[in-house]
Amino acid sequence: MRLRLRLRRMRDECNVGLNYAYYLSGAIYGWIEKSSPAYATFLHDNGYQLENTFRKFKHFCFSQLQVAEREIDYSRGTMKVISPVVEWYISMPIEEALQHLVVGIFEKQELYIDRAYNRFTV
């Protein structure tokens, strides 16, 4: 299942670091934890294991932020978000994880990237 999230920036000034994947992953874990702390701990610490393998999988992936209007400053490693709305896709094949994610999003309809003033509402 793939979710398309529309994120609306909460401030006029929004400069996001180009290495923002860690913050997006943290937002996903945070939303799942809001719904079920036990499941979030399981997913973060253990994940799912395929038969006859030692590899463990978290079973979610996500896209880069889809920003229509932006300015990138490579010297500072930042992206100025000009668009009022940003799209972001999250994919999860396990229904339980998706349920916890959606419940967590509805309970906490915001995320921040890099700094607290780079806030978005979902």
The residue type found at 120 is F
- Per residue in 83-104, pLDDT (tens digit) is 999 999 999 888 888 999 999 9
More confident call, 60 vs 3: 3
Given a cut of 80, whether residue 55 has pLDDT beyond it is: no
Q: How far apart are CA 76 and CA 59, in angstroms?
A: 33
37-55: burial string, b at 16+ Cβ within 10 Å, e else = eeebeebeeeeeeeeeeee
What does the mean pLDDT of the chain come to? 89
H or E element, residue 111 = strand 110-112
% of the chain beyond a pLDDT of 70: 97
pLDDT at 49: 74
Residue-range domains of the chain with CATH:
2-121 (3.30.70.1890)
Q: How far apart are CA 34 and CA 104, in angstroms?
A: 5
